[in-house]
Chains A and B, each alone.
Chain A
Amino acid sequence: MRALTWHGKHDVRVDTVDDPEIINPRDAIIKITATAICGSDLHLYDGYIPTMKAGDILGHEFMGEVVETGSKSTLQKGQKVVVPFTIACGSCYHCGKHQYSACDNGNPADNQDIGRELYGQPMSGLFGYSHMTGGYAGGQAEYVRVPFSDVGPIVVPDGIEDEKVLFLSDILPTGWMAAENAQIEPGDTVAVWGCGPVGLFAVQSAFLMGAARVIAIDHFPHRLELARKFGAEAINFEESKTYEALMEMTGGIGPDAVIDAVGLEAHGFFVDNVIDQIKASMFLGTDRTHSIRQAILACRKGGRVSMPAVYGGFVDKFPLGAFMEKGLTLKTGQTHVQHYMPGLLNAILEGKIDTTFLISHTLPLEDAPKGYKMFHDNQNEVTKVVLKPDLAVAAE
């Protein structure tokens, strides 16, 4: 089959590799119909993520048709499914509590050592995201092997457009969980740092959960414009002073809840603050590294901090004093995708949530390297790249 493979910094290629096979009884093989490049894929592209190996197949947002099933899979051939990016067994204590991203068993035994070393306990496996999270082949390919297929994939109705449901795999549940973690009360003002897909879905979710006002903070005009379309007020941090603006806009109180949807790109994945600083001084700028600090300082006393943004290691100058003195609550974590999929699928089918607005580009899988470069180079215009294996390559 053809698959997008990683070979090093800014070096991804579409290669021919062996087709996946059923290995374990609960597996299924999915023929990919649509897959997307995630903002977090750019961190792989930029070479920030350790434990990557040349030839690794990327992609953790994908969906497709069931073409093969193991003896204990509950899926049927021909069904259309969206696959969660978290690989969870459904049988362990954490899955029982719907804490799917904390699954004990989704990550192969040997790969759990790194997570234990870094975090105290290893987390679940993830598709297409380095060997620390399992080393599973991702879905930016023609086919993918899906373990625990009786627990993860959600069957979607026949005939529904892929674009409407594809984002159930990651970013929609992630944005929703971000808003849920903000414990929004009716009438609240919620501030969201970062208007990437997760931030934009958090804006939509916050309104659905009863927020009276949502204030979106970014520096890409096009992304701020999208946030406005959903009713958010925008702060362009390159034009205005964010803290001062928030205080004035909230009558000196500060937002009741703050959501940091920036994260990883600013801080890197399990790098210490030395590398954090080197990166910041080289090209990432300081505004981004400030998102969580700024959110904590702006948040009202006794308010809530939600952090869907991915942090991997240590963060320098975390305002622990402000956090304690103001009595804030912090909720965070990798998304428990399986928990949110059924409810969010219903919300999509009922027309309460639209996800298609996000897609700025659709390309054939063969053009995936071009998609990575576009996404990397122009984050203002390129909000989401969807890849389709069946799409014909346009003549140059």
Chain B
Amino acid sequence: MTSDKTLAQRDHDDAPVTTSKSADPDRTLLAEAITINRPAQELYDFWRNPQNLVGIMENIEAIEVLSDTRSRWTVKAPADGHVSWESVISDDVPGRSITWQSAPDADVANSGRIEFHEVDGRGTVVRATIAYEPPGGALGQIIAKLFQREPRIQTRRDLRRFKQLMETGEVATAARTKKQLEEEKA
């Protein structure tokens, strides 16, 4: 269902704005939440070091830390190519949340926030919100395809791997041999 109302104008509705049935035509916005049975600070600390994320994110080739707030992300692209952009932390609340956005020259303008909210007896609710703008140009089209390959599913899987690593110390795999594991990751 689409309506003429803007995202902010939903009546009698406390559901997160990311679940609205009205779409914003200029932007894709998604959020995923997962509960992780660990303290918020520990989860924040892990996430605050971008290099840690290579092990839990699909498609990420490399994350190069440029400074305390800047990192360069490289993802796999079709035909053995790759695409990279610079990500800048724009807001940082230790133990609570990290907000980032792509540097102005990024081919796909994207921004996001990850929040850590402790709940009694269950650990920490981790909520990731990601927004990106459809790009223009030929390269933009390729990248858009890459990003739009079910970004919600990708985010959900990444969060599951984050949870597995933080709760169990390892990322679950059904691989029977090391060779199979490499093939899965390729």
Where the two chains meet, the residues of A that have a C-beta atom closer than 8 Å to any C-beta of B are: 18-21, 23-26, 57, 72, 89-93, 96, 104-113, 116, 125, 131, 134-137, 145, 147-148
Q: Does B170 contact A (CB under 8 A)?
A: yes
**Which residues B62-102 have CB closer than 8 A to chain A?**
none
Where the two chains meet, the residues of B that have a C-beta atom closer than 8 Å to any C-beta of A are: 35, 37, 122-123, 153, 156-158, 160-161, 163-164, 167-179, 181
> Once the chains are docked, how many angstroms separate the CA of A131 from the CA of B123?
29
Q: Once the chains bind, are A23 and B169 in contact (CB under 8 Å)? A: no
Q: Once the chains bind, are B157 and A110 in contact (CB under 8 Å)? A: yes
Contacts of A116 in B (CB 8 A): 156
- Contact of A21 (CB < 8 Å), options: B122, B163, B168, B177: B177
Contacts of B173 in A (CB 8 A): 23-24, 108, 147
The chain B residue with its CB closest to the CB of A147 is: B172
> Once the chains are docked, how many angstroms separate the CA of A137 from the CA of B156?
25
> Once the chains are docked, how many angstroms separate the CA of A26 from the CA of B123?
22
Q: Once the chains bind, are B167 and A104 in contact (CB under 8 Å)? A: yes
Q: Once the chains bind, are A107 and B172 in contact (CB under 8 Å)? A: yes
Closest beta carbon of chain A to B42's beta carbon, Å: 13
Given the interface pairs A96-B37, A109-B160, A113-B153, the reply to whether A25 lies near B178 with Cβ below 8 Å is no
Q: Once the chains bind, are B174 and A92 in contact (CB under 8 Å)? A: no
> Once the chains are docked, how many angstroms separate the CA of A319 from the CA of B35?
36
A–B complex contacts, Cβ < 8 Å, 19 sampled: A23-B181, A25-B169, A89-B168, A89-B172, A93-B122, A93-B123, A96-B37, A108-B172, A108-B174, A109-B158, A109-B160, A109-B161, A109-B164, A109-B171, A110-B157, A111-B174, A113-B156, A134-B174, A137-B174
The chain A residue with its CB closest to the CB of B160 is: A109
> Once the chains are docked, how many angstroms separate the CA of A96 from the CA of B122?
10
Q: Once the chains bind, are B179 and A18 in contact (CB under 8 Å)? A: yes
> Once the chains are docked, how many angstroms separate the CA of A105 from the CA of B37?
11
Contacts of A105 in B (CB 8 A): 163-164, 167-168, 172
Given the interface pairs A89-B168, A105-B163, the reply to whether A23 lies near B179 with Cβ below 8 Å is no
- State the 5 A-B residue pairs at the shortest beta-carbon distance, nearest first: A109-B160, A24-B170, A135-B174, A89-B168, A109-B157
Given the interface pairs A24-B170, A26-B170, A109-B157, the reply to whether A104 lies near B176 with Cβ below 8 Å is no
The chain A residue with its CB closest to the CB of B167 is: A91
Contacts of A26 in B (CB 8 A): 168-170
